[in-house]
Amino acid sequence: MPLNTLEEIAEYIVSDGKGILAADESNPTCGKRFDSIGVESTETNRRDYREMLFRSRGMKDNIGGVILFDETLRQSAQDGTPLVELIKTQGALPGIKVDKGLIPLDSSPEETITQGLNGLDERCKEYFSLGAKFTKWRAVIKISDSIPSDECIKANMQALARYAKIVQENNMVPMVEPEVLMDGNHSIERCYEVSCKTLQTLFDCLHKEGVDIKGTILKPNMVTSGSLAENQASIQDVAEMTVKCLKENVPSDLPGITFLSGGQSDINATAHLDAMNKIGGFSWKLSFSYGRALQQPALKAWLGKKENITDAQAALSHRALMNKFAAKGEWSSDLEG
What pLDDT, in 10s, does the model give residues 243-259? Answer: 999 999 999 999 999 99
Q: CA–CA separation, 221 vs 306, rounded Å?
A: 35
Mean pLDDT value of segment 44-71? 98
pLDDT in tens, 63-75: 999 999 999 999 9
Q: List pLDDT tens digits, range 130-152.
A: 999 999 999 999 999 999 999 99
pLDDT value of position 18: 98
Q: pTM of the prediction?
A: 0.97
Among candidate residues 18, 133, 219, 324, the one labeled active-site is 219
Predicted confidence band of residue 1 (pLDDT cuts 50, 70, 90): low
Domains for the chain: give ranges and CATH numbers: 6-336 (3.20.20.70)
Given 51, 111, 177, 179, the catalytic residue: 177
* Percent of the chain residues topping a pLDDT of 70: 99
Please indicate whether residue 219 is annotated as part of the active site.
Answer: yes
Q: Which of 2-6, 47-51, 179-183, 206-210 has the lowest mean pLDDT?
A: 2-6
Please write the tens of the pLDDT for every residue from 301-337. Answer: 999 999 999 999 999 999 999 999 999 999 999 999 8
